[in-house]
Amino acid sequence: MKAVLPPASPTSTRAPVVLGEAPEPEPRDDELVLAVEAYSVNRGETFQLDGQLDRRWPGWRPGKDVAGTVLRAAADGTGPIAGTRVVAHPPAYGWAERVAVATAHVAELPDSIDAVTAAALPLAGITALRLLRAAGPVAGRRILLTGASGGVGHYVTELAASSGAAVTAVSATADRGARLLELGAVELVTSVEEALGPFDVVLESVGGASLPAALSQLAPGALLVWFGQAGRTPVTLDFFDFFKGPLQARIAHFDYTSSDAPYSDDLATLVRLVSAGRLHPEIGTVRDWSRTGDVITELRERRVRGNAVLTVG
């Protein structure tokens, strides 16, 4: 079958991916086989491709966010039957014509949601849901969200605002962040320093100088949740400054994969919210999958707002 293949080894030159041949998936008993119609590219996968994150296992190919139609149901009888339209979140291998996915990581799609929209949901949407759970009740609370113009940021903004939070979104440019105001953010700024604190919750995903600056925006007893380092610049934190800051403030590290819960429930929640018109995926570009290399370059250069989706033809 055809699949998007990574370079033979990670290199500093960031060799482009290529469309080539890959083995057919060999599903376990609890896995279905999905005919992929669309997939989303995440920044984390671009970091894996250029060697900045572990690929985890030999023979790795990218592909975490997929949508399509079930070709073969799971042998153990769990999950949807053949012919069912689904959205899924496999650990890898999804940038291909077919992929095997555990039924615990799949949700059925209604006719009202197309494959392109569905493919934008899994990683960014699940992260947003679990991130807000980690933050605790948000109604009436002031939230500062950094790196807000990506896929996760758009979902967090709309979900938090609809729950009664006052969200201040930080985006590198006003143009990239304009949609966040439409989704319910009360304020859009282009740097953490411009934000008018203090905040009850800070959701930090940029790293570098952004995290220390965000710490200074915390109210007494407030929480900073660190969930990414999109800027790829290591954080240097002076804890003496932190100790002189707001009393009883807390820092927590967040990883959406740390929960043992299957992804199917969160995927079903996202599908339900989109179907009801309560969640609106922000899709910055839609291309044929032959253009995956171009999209990866644009993501690396921060030229895509929201999610980037590729269609498999």
Residue 125 has pLDDT above 90, yes or no: yes
Task: Tell me the domains of the chain and their CATH numbers.
Answer: 2-121+281-311 (3.90.180.10), 126-257 (3.40.50.720)
Residue 23 has pLDDT above 80, yes or no: yes
C-alpha pair distances (Å), 207 with each of 72, 198, 249: 42, 20, 18
* Block residue for tokens 């799609």: 109
Residue 57 has pLDDT above 90, yes or no: no
40's enclosing H/E stretch is strand 31-41
CA torsion through residues 286, 107, 302, 94, sign? negative
Higher pLDDT among residues 205 and 71, named by residue:
71
- CB under 8 Å to 157, separation ≥6 — which residues? 145, 148, 167, 169, 180, 183, 184, 185
Mean pLDDT, the chain, integer: 91
Mean pLDDT, residues 215-235 taken together: 84
* pLDDT for 242: 66
Cβ contact 160:168 at 8 Å? no
* Block residue for tokens 């008018």: 196
CB count within 10 Å of CB 71 equals 15
* pLDDT for 12: 42
* pLDDT for 301: 85
CA 237 – CA 234 distance, rounded (Å)? 10
The pLDDT confidence band at residue 228, using thresholds 50, 70 and 90, is confident
Q: Is the peptide bond before 198 cis (omega within 30 degrees of 0)?
A: yes
For the stretch 128-145, pLDDT in tens is 999 999 999 999 999 999
For the stretch 73-111, pLDDT in tens is 999 999 999 999 999 999 999 999 999 999 999 999 999
For the stretch 246-288, pLDDT in tens is 778 888 999 998 777 899 999 999 999 999 999 999 999 999 9
Cβ contact 245:218 at 8 Å? yes
